[in-house]
Amino acid sequence: MNSGLQTFADRIIKGRWFVIVSVIFLTIFFGLQLSELKINSDILKSLPEDDKNAKLLKEIGRNFGGQNIGLLIVETDNVYNTASIEHIASLTESLAEIDGINSVSSVTNIINIKGDDFGLEVGQLVDPYDLPTTPEDFEVLRQNILNNKLYKGSIISEDETSALIMFYLDEEAIVKDVASDVIEVSNGLNLPENLYYAGSPMLVSYISDLMRKDLVTLLPIAFLVIALTLFFSFRSLSGVLLPLISSLVAIIWTLGSIALLGFNMTMISNNIPIILLAVGSAYSIHVVNKINLEDADSYEEKIRNGLSSVTIPVILAGITTAIGFISFIFGAYLDMVVEFGIFTSLGTLYSCILALVLVPALLALGSKKNDTIKKARSPKFKLLEDFSLQLAKFVSQKPKALFLIWMALIVAGIAGIFSIERSVNIQDYFKPGNPARKAEQIMMDKFGGTKPVFMLFEGEILDPVVLIKMKEAAEFMEQSPDINSTLSVADLIAELNFAITGQRTIPEDPDQIQQLWFFLEGNETLERLVNPDLTQAIIISKFKSPDNQSKKVFAEYMDGFIGNNQSEDLSIEITGMPFVDVVMDRSLVNSQIASILIALVFVIIVIGLILKSFKNGVLSTIPIVAAIIILFGLMGWSGISLNIATVLVASVALGIGIDYSIHIIVNFNKQFKRHKNAHKAVSESILSSGRAIIINFIAVSLGFLVLVFSDMIPLIYFGILVAASMISSGLGALTLFPVVLASVNRNSEKE
């Protein structure tokens, strides 16, 4: 036995009180940080600064304030009736009174400039003090909307069943508070119409609520599930409590670190507690298992021997799991994925340290009492021990059959990989029937979608050449089947020109434009369309299709226009969520490949270095590579798409699943050295680590399966896929890996 490890174990046993008090102190410290922990589910904020689409999108948000738009959809049989218009008016007024909302626009307050024989009428579509009542009044309103390009299909749906109320948030508004006030105020009016909420602020706050709900409800369930698994496996209080305590402490330290370093919880880091519960308990399970299995005269001796023999595999497991998570920082598109990688990795290291330090220290506390009962422990594991024995027999008797089964699974997996779909659509995050999903659907079906598209023009904006180019660009854009309508300052000038001259065009005389501008200046809408220096202006539009191919086609289509129309005096750029989606979609595959490869390489290096054999490093990855191929096959065959959550599964599975191989190979090396017989070494290592691996993958899988109760679809799939990977990598380590080890070491055996 390595004397350094023995000394380490001795120090833990002797300094148990110091360890426990230090852990309590640190837990209180990190626990106090938790009150500062905030949830941020805004994908926009997580977009990277180095992607030109994301950068431009953020820049437009800053320079053309008020792009943070919430949407309230009022749905009824037909909106054109006095009661509904009255309700829309009171909703509009009530929303305008909410702090953080700087303006609200709906059919009942939207400005309307129209020209007739008498001149220009600057007013509102609906007079708030004289609402329409007769069929004739409604016909006038209907025609006013249908004849105005700016309003047609954007404030009342063309099927007349839905009206849209748009509210613009202040730059410094607390989005979550505004969103909850909007829901409270609008529900408080008790209107008979159906109300749906959409748009980024509502969605962000809706997702935050779901995340909070998931954290509060799923974590305790995961605890319970893992506790029950541990109880049925160890049948002892320490076997249940120690893994749970150490993972709970690791969770508190990790979340505390997130808050301490000024980061927020995101849609993805919301998973961290459940992952750490699974990972953290796994390390402790191995430590408790190893100590329990040791045969020694005193309980302290058992702890010393057990701890010194389990330290290397647990450290290896910790480092490799951390590598699996940290690999997300390479090639991940969203900042939130990078943060998730860093903090889960940190949490894994915390878990690893706690399993090696806190668990033995706590066990050492009860050493005297346990000395007397140690002999009574063995029968409790009989079932798993029998299973491990049968498994060891099966592996040594039927290696070829096992190998063929695995090969068949791998081939099926590879075949499935080609059918994997990708999804970056936020609607897909919600279950069917969910109000947020329904709202997005209504927006898509009736108001041309919610994904904003912005085309930025830089030049002398009031130059007729620029305005004409903007109008052409808008018309070109509208020819795309996914663009319903556009809005730009060129439209406002053309509409005003129409009101005065009867021609809906941009005047060619610069003086005429200046004079029309004189009239338009000060209109609030302008701030969202043109900068104060009149050197930048945007065309605002919405993209309808959720389909990624359509987004790519649109991006290419618009690139064609931009390429042909830019000049020295005019720069044109386009961005928006469809463009971000295309890059995000591409990055899903790239970051998936990059993170798996990087994790694999590092895992091989670390295992190779610690076990002083790169051959062992490479061999250890066989079960997990098989498990990952099967995982992708499962995704392909079942239609579970690759999205911002499921893209994490392979690396998570690699990080956690590699542990099983490490335990087997460390034991195998030890046994092979002792017996010089590969078959015996394989059987011994299955017997020694099999039980812990089985308990571990059952506990971890059940822990992750709790995510099926989540309200967010990506998390449900994440849970299912990690559980499936755990089972396959666990079984791979116990069946495929021993077959490979036995076969590879047959030659050395003969020597």
Partner 1 sequence: MKKNSNIIIVLFLVLSISFVQAQDAQKILSEMDNLMSAPQDRVATVEITIRNKKGNETVREASLMQKGANYRLYRYTKPENKAGIATLSHPDGKMWLYMPSFGKAVKITLLSKSQAFTGTDFSYEDMSGIPYSERFNASLESSDKPNNYLLNLLPKTKETEYSKIQIYINEENGYPIEMAFFDKKGNNIKKADYSYVKKGKYWYAEEVIMTDLRKDHSTKIIIKEVTFDIGLKDDDFTLEKLTGKSKSD
Chain contacts with partner 1 (rule: CB under 8 A): 93, 96-97, 99, 102, 111, 115, 118-124, 127, 129, 499-501, 509-512, 514-516, 518-519, 521-524, 532-533
Q: Are the CB atoms for 305 and 295 separated by under 8 Å?
A: no
Instruction: Provide the minimum distance between the beta carbon of 470 and partner 1 in the complex, in angstroms, as a whole number.
Output: 20
Cβ 199 to partner 1 shortest distance, Å: 22
Whose Cβ is closer to partner 1: residue 501's or residue 549's? 501
- Of 554, 544, 540, 579, nearest to 441 by C-alpha is 544
Please identify, using beta-carbon distances, which residue of 532 and 639 lies nearer to partner 1.
532
CB of 135 to partner 1, least distance (A): 22
For residue 503, the minimal CB distance to partner 1 (Å) is 11
DSSP SS3 for 126: coil
Whole-angstrom Cα distance, residue 344 to residue 509? 62
Among the listed residues 183, 185, 165, 179, the one whose alpha carbon sits nearest the alpha carbon of residue 110: 165
Q: Which residues of 369-396 are buried (b: 16+ CB within 10 A; e: fewer)?
A: ebeeebeeeeebbeebbeebeebbeebb
**Cα separations in angstroms, 365 against 46, 115, 161, 303:** 46, 88, 70, 11
Question: Is residue 735 a contact partner of residue 685, using CB atoms and an 8 Å limit?
Answer: no
Q: Smaller CB distance to partner 1: residue 73 or 101?
A: 101
In whole angstroms, the minimum distance from the beta carbon of 523 to partner 1 comes to 7
Distance between CA atoms of 325 and 341, rounded to whole angstroms? Answer: 5
Which C-beta is closer to partner 1: that of 520 or that of 553? 520
Report in angstroms how near the CB of residue 108 gets to partner 1 at its nearest: 12
Minimal distance, residue 115 CB to partner 1, in Å: 8
> Which amino acid makes up residue 722?
V
Please return the burial class of 119, using the count of CB atoms within 10 Å of its CB with bins 0-12, 13-18 and 19+. Answer: exposed
Q: Tokens 């290291």 — which residue?
A: 349
Nearer to partner 1, 7 or 514 (CB): 514
3-state helix, strand, coil in the chain (%, to 5): 70, 10, 20
Nearer to partner 1, 348 or 497 (CB): 497
Q: Which is nearer to partner 1, 61 or 608 (CB)?
A: 61
Cβ-contact 306, 293 below 8 angstroms: yes
Dihedral sign for Cα 265, 268, 273, 276, please. negative
Complex with partner 1: residue 462 or 712, whichever CB lies closer? 462
Residue 81 CB, nearest approach to partner 1 (Å): 22
Q: DSSP assignment, residue 394?
A: H
DSSP output for 148-200 = -TTTBTTTB-TTSSEEEEEEEEPTT--HHHHHHHHHHHHHHT--SSEEEEESH
Closest contact distance (angstroms) between CB of 147 and partner 1 is 17
CA torsion through residues 150, 151, 157, 162, sign: positive
For partner 1, give the closer residue by CB, 96 or 312: 96
